[in-house]
């Protein structure tokens, strides 16, 4: 069923507020105000704040997971695929710079949220089309002697942690430099290529 305009507006408003302020500091009243609708309408479509949060949280996690899929299908070598994955991940976060801290805070503050990650990883379609494909491509590159022996899990953790940490510390770095907007943009631009180089050079056999 295609979501209604009101339903999409509520979801977008919830995403904005949850990402900026977190789950506990956001109320359905806040969401209704941001979506320019009544609180009753929020409850009509999503029943509870928790249901709405899970929808937002799962959508964000899935978007991070599924962006791996397209680069893996590219007609290029494994090292170039890794570059494309890193850049795609980086660009996605650039559109919502509060995303890494939002996910990190929720996973630390609400351990039960970790079950959502497990559900995504074990989703049959995502596991087969994304994780299994990534693992297969990596093992083939190792077999051919193009990269050193490394597990898919460790490589993905390297990519995720380097990208996420960059955006978490970017505002702190910019504030120290004393020129928030310019310093932060320059920092992110340089870090994007630095992460690519750190990962790809570290893969050399």
Q: What is the pLDDT of residues 9-55, one digit of tens each?
A: 999 999 999 998 989 999 999 999 999 999 999 999 999 999 999 99
pLDDT digits (tens, 9 = 90+) for 80-112: 999 999 999 999 999 888 889 888 888 898 888
Q: Whole-model pTM? A: 0.84
pLDDT value at residue 124: 62
pLDDT digits (tens, 9 = 90+) for 162-193: 999 999 999 888 888 877 777 888 899 999 99
pLDDT digits (tens, 9 = 90+) for 51-68: 999 999 888 888 888 788
pLDDT value at residue 119: 81
Confidence of residue 125 (pLDDT cuts 50, 70, 90): low
In angstroms, rounded to a whole number, what is the distance separating the alpha carbons of residues 149 and 146? 10
Longest CA pairwise span in the chain (Å): 60
Tell me: pLDDT of 122 over 80.
no
Spell out the domain ranges in the chain: 1-47, 57-202
Fold assignment, 1-47: Arc Repressor Mutant, subunit A (1.10.10)
Label residues 33-72 b or e (16+ Cβ within 10 Å = b). ebbebeeebbeebbeebeebbebbbeebbeebbebbbebb
Nearest to 150 by CA among 201, 203, 72: 203
**Contact status, residue 161 vs residue 96, Cβ threshold 8 Å:** no
pLDDT value at residue 176: 86
Q: What is the CATH superfamily name and number for domain 57-202?
A: Tetracycline Repressor, domain 2 (1.10.357.10)
pLDDT value at residue 191: 95
């Amino acid at each position: 069923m295609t979501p209604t305009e009101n339903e999409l507006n509520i979801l977008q408003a919830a995403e904005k507020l949850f990402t900026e302020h977190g789950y506990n500091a956001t109320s359905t009243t806040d969401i209704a105000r941001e979506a320019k609708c009544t609180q009753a309408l929020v409850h009509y479509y999503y029943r509870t704040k928790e249901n709405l949060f899970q929808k937002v949280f799962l959508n964000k996690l899935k978007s991070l997971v599924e962006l791996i899929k397209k680069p893996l299908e590219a007609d290029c070598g494994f090292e170039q695929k890794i570059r494309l994955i890193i850049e795609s991940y980086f660009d996605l976060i650039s559109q919502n710079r509060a995303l890494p801290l939002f996910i990190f805070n929720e996973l630390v503050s609400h351990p039960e949220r970790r079950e959502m990650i497990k559900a995504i990883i074990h989703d049959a379609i995502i596991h087969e089309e994304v994780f299994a494909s990534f693992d297969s491509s990596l093992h083939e590159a190792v077999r051919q002697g193009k990269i050193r022996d490394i597990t898919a899990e460790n490589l993905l953790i390297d990519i995720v942690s380097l990208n996420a940490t960059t955006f978490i510390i970017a505002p702190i770095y910019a504030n120290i430099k004393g020129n928030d907007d310019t310093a932060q943009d320059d920092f992110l631009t340089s870090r994007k290529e630095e992460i690519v180089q750190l990962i790809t050079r570290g893969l050399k056999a």
